[in-house]
Amino acid sequence: MELAADGSVPPAEWIALVRAPEGLTVIRPVAAGEKPAEGTWIALYTGDQAHPVDLPGMLSALLVPLAQAGVPVFVASTHHADLVLVPEDRRADALTALHDAGHTVAD
């Protein structure tokens, strides 16, 4: 996806867009025929219930089992949810780690 010279983001199907002092991060589906520069990451959505933003430990409940299994993660958090992405080639390891920790993950 090409960004405009003025830094605006063209209309596209994106999942998350984060503008920080260091730059712009766009999380979006891979377009048909496109090869991602850094490999494909997949989003995992847990079937766990929504929780208040001030409830500590919710994200770590997902990240700790993944870290213990040696699965890299990329996280984008919002007021409503945490989007946990893992490398596509580590999908099976991630699902096993999360299931073993008692989480329900939607396929």
- Identify the pLDDT of residue 72: 96
The predicted pLDDT at position 93 comes to 97
Residue 18 and residue 76 in contact, taking contact as beta carbons nearer than 8 Å: yes
What number does CATH give the domain 36-106?
3.30.2130.10
Report the C-alpha gap between 3 and 95 in whole angstroms: 34
Question: From first to last of its 107 residues, what are the pLDDT tens digits of the chain?
Answer: 566 667 677 677 777 778 788 877 878 777 777 777 677 888 887 655 666 667 777 889 899 999 999 999 999 887 777 889 999 999 999 999 999 999 888 75
pTM of the full predicted structure? 0.75
For the record, the structure tokens of 43 come out as 């989003």
Q: What is the pLDDT of residue 23?
A: 79
- pLDDT value for 49: 60
Q: Which residues belong to CATH 3.30.2130.10 in the chain?
A: 36-106
